[in-house]
Structure 1
């Protein structure tokens, strides 16, 4: 009985060892490094989609105004505050005139004096004109008497000299009158300039708008051109959006847009591209477009971030593929195609436009119905063994 028990025990141990080796081999082949790579597969199908562009932008004002003095000076009073709504011509701030009012008064006095000088020059011109007329009459009479030998030649020459002197007096009086009038015009121009300077000290609203900045307070000194008040037209708000240059094909004015403000994430706002900037950003490789709101939302603020999605015209029917299936092998872009026997073949493809939901057009390299690997647990090669699953779960190796 002992030899039989020993043989049975050995057979049992051998059978157990075989089972363990088989189980280990099964585990190695199914879950170990020799196990097939799990992949998800999709069949290429024909379809069409509406491409879209996505970008991030900020709300800006198309028409904004920096209102400040035309000459250096001290701020006398600021009449508005940030957030105030103003009407055209409303006083926003005023600069200290210093001695400008006194200079205007002095110039008014000088202009009055120049007016008196013009009146005096006119009187002198009239007197000189009367003297010339009398000299002309006397000279004519003496010439006639001289021709009849009633008076001497010397008397005739004396009257002619009086006429010449009278004409010179008229010319001098006319010159004095012209000079007085020019001086009066000069003073009038200077007075108008001072009045304009005095008017420029009152900083008025050029349009109806909202105050977004109060950059100086009463008593502070500002230089020419420095802004005291910043004003915008709220109806001119738009979004300055940046798009990736590599995905900006089709970007043009007139495209419909959906704008989502950071402060209103659940309320997409309708808009439209009104301008595409001719200059792109070469550093960030972005193109810039301006999107206007169809209806201005309430409570929007300048500088607020916004997400903008542009809808492009629908594409022509073409083969569609998830862009996650695209792979690069060297210099070629392609996909891993699964044949009928489960083998893998790398198929170079030429792709077209893509959508925001991950679909891409396949222009060449595949046929409708081809099975293509979309996701895999690890990098694939032409010798990889694969196992097609519905979805990948767990951590990728």
Structure 2
């Protein structure tokens, strides 16, 4: 009896009776089976929520895409041609200006004095011409008198009334009068050249004075202001930037593989990153002839036929240029295409299950892709209704349409 009691006590210490141990094992096994059944249901029997679309036949618009910046076709950086201090700036950023409107004035006090000095030099040169013309007239009269005296002396010499010495003296006086006339005429030429130089100097000073008043070269919009009154400028310093807002372009970078398919007058869609859900229309106006050696892209200029209510020069946008239309093509939405085992294809709805079907795809449009083989119009294809459903979608999987 004592030995039996000892055995029972050892069994209780080891974990209870055999019945209890079997109950625990059975409970653990049932839990595993429940988990396995849940996983099997999730993987094999629970339907996946999907979106469905019918394969169609229609026109497919083929597009070339590119990313670019908004700019103005007509643009000018307003700068100064002379050094000077800004007296006033009459416009500010976002102001509209007319062609020829004064936008900036420089301090002109020094140039006004230079113009006065230049005008005085012109007046002095003009007076010098008057004096030189008077000298020419006097020398001409002296020469004519000398010639008449020489003629009378020669006649007197032939009759013996004048000596040879007297004839030589009068001839020498004629030569002196000729030399005086030549000197007076040279002085007149020099005075006229001095007047021309003084006038050119005055014109230069006046042009510089005119350069103190800076005007807009065309009607437009001020998009940038770089200076304020009181600042000192050197020639070429930027003051303002003015653009023509009715000539906005998008300069888009496009891969070089699209060169052969692009041409002017092609229609384009513009999507600004500030408005990703809105499209604006445009038209290709110029196709670049130079490819960037690093990015292997070239520029395509697109004129916007409509613009956002608010825009900014340098704003980034995506361009979708329609190159041609593929007629009567079998097409499917690009978002329904998937990759499986290294092959592209779609899930086809067969009864209440999704069946995988590899396909051969061709040209790609904005939202649709051409199907060259593997599908027929009228068939229905599916894709997961959300990210989790897309991951759970497999061949033979039951589906439920959302």
TM-score of Structure 1 vs Structure 2, range by shorter chain: 0.7 to 0.9
CA distance in 2, matches of 1:156, 1:250: 100
TM-score, normalised with respect to structure 2 = 0.72
Q: Which residue of 1 aligns with 2:363?
A: 353
1:238-285, Cα deviation, whole Å (9 max, x unpaired): 222233444665222111123344555565332211112222334344
Greater per-residue strand proportion: 2
SS at match of 2:130: helix
Residue 208 (1) aligns with residue 215 (2): no
CA distance in 2, matches of 1:263, 1:122: 77
The within-5 A match list for 1:170-249 is 170-246=181-257
* Aligned partner (choices 136, 157, 160) of residue 146 of structure 1: 157
More displaced 10-residue stretch of structure 1: 281-290 or 167-176: 281-290
How far is the alpha carbon of 1:187 from its aligned partner? 0.5
Q: Which residue of 2 aligns with 1:71?
A: 82
Contact 2:57 2:329 survives alignment (8 Å): yes
Q: Which residue of 2 aligns with 1:308?
A: 319
Contact 2:61 2:366 survives alignment (8 Å): no
Q: Which residue of 2 aligns with 1:382?
A: none
Q: How many residues align?
A: 358
Relative to structure 1, the CA distance from residue 258 to residue 320 in structure 2 (aligned partners, 3 Å threshold; closer, same or farther) is: closer
Contact 2:60 2:331 survives alignment (8 Å): no
How far is the alpha carbon of 1:322 from its aligned partner? 7.1
Q: Which residue of 1 aligns with 2:7?
A: none
Residue 126 (1) aligns with residue 137 (2): yes
State the Cα RMSD in Å: 4.5
1:199-231, Cα deviation, whole Å (9 max, x unpaired): 111111111111122211111122210111221
Contact 1:322 1:374 survives alignment (8 Å): no
* Aligned partner (choices 60, 83, 89) of residue 94 of structure 2: 83
Residue 293 (1) aligns with residue 304 (2): yes
Unmatched 5+ stretches in structure 2: 1-35, 45-50, 349-354, 385-389
CA distance in 2, matches of 1:111, 1:284: 62
Relative to structure 1, the CA distance from residue 352 to residue 176 in structure 2 (aligned partners, 3 Å threshold; closer, same or farther) is: farther
SS at match of 2:325: coil
* Aligned partner (choices 253, 261, 271) of residue 282 of structure 2: 271
Relative to structure 1, the CA distance from residue 177 to residue 107 in structure 2 (aligned partners, 3 Å threshold; closer, same or farther) is: same
CA distance in 1, matches of 2:299, 2:92: 33
Contact 1:73 1:223 survives alignment (8 Å): yes
CA distance in 2, matches of 1:27, 1:260: 47
